[in-house]
Amino acid sequence: MKPYVFVGHPIERETRDYLEQHFELAVWNEPNKKVPAERLRDELQRAEGAMLTSTRVDAQLLADAKKLKVVSTVSVGYDAFDIDAFQEYGVLATHTPYVLDETVADLVLGLMISSSRRIAELHEYIKKGEWQPEPDSTFFGQDLHHRTLGIIGMGRIGEKVVRRARLGFEMDVVYHNRRRQPEVEQNYEARYMELDDLLQHADIVVVMVPLTEETTGLISTREFGLMKPTSVLVNAARGPVVDEGALVTALREKQIFAAGLDVFDQEPLPADHPLLLLDNVTLTPHIGSSTHETTREMEMCAAKNLVQALQGDTPQDLIKELKD
Please report the domains of the chain, with CATH numbers, ordered by start residue: 4-98+292-323 (3.40.50.720), 101-283 (3.40.50.720)
CA atoms within 13 A on the CB side of 81: 29
Would you call 286 a catalytic residue per the annotation?
A: yes
Does pTM surpass 0.85?
yes
Would the pLDDT of 83 be above 70? yes
Q: Assess whether 176 carries a catalytic annotation.
A: no
Reply yes or no on whether the pLDDT at 300 is more than 90: yes
Spatial CA neighbour of 84 closest among 302, 322, 286: 322
3-state secondary structure of 100: coil
| Strand order through the sheet with 24-27 | 24-27, 4-7, 49-52, 70-73, 92-94
- Give the pairing of strands 204-207 and 191-192: unpaired
What percentage of the chain has pLDDT greater than the value 90? 90
Worst-scoring range by mean pLDDT, 63-72, 75-84, 155-164, 199-208?
75-84
Task: Say which of 267, 292, 299, 321 is annotated catalytic.
Answer: 267
> Which pLDDT tens digit goes with each residue over 40-69?
999 999 999 999 998 999 999 999 999 999
pLDDT band for position 324 (cuts 50, 70, 90):
low
Catalytic residue, chosen from 273, 286, 296, 297, is: 286
pLDDT grade, residue 32 (50/70/90)? confident
User: In what side-by-side order are the strands of the sheet with 281-283?
Assistant: 191-192, 172-176, 148-152, 204-207, 232-235, 258-261, 281-283
Please say if the pLDDT value at position 24 is more than 80.
Answer: yes
Active site residue 24: no
From 24-28, 31-35, 58-62, 212-216, the region with the lowest mean pLDDT: 31-35
185-201 burial, b if ≥16 CB within 10 A, otherwise e? eeebebebbeeeebbeb
Mean pLDDT (the chain) is 95
List the catalytic residue out of 48, 238, 244, 299: 238
Give kind and range of the element (H or E) at residue 25: strand 24-27
Residues 6+ apart with CB under 8 A from 227: 199, 200, 202, 205, 233, 250, 255, 256
Residue 303: band (very low, low, confident or very high) from pLDDT cuts 50, 70, 90: very high
pLDDT value of position 29: 93
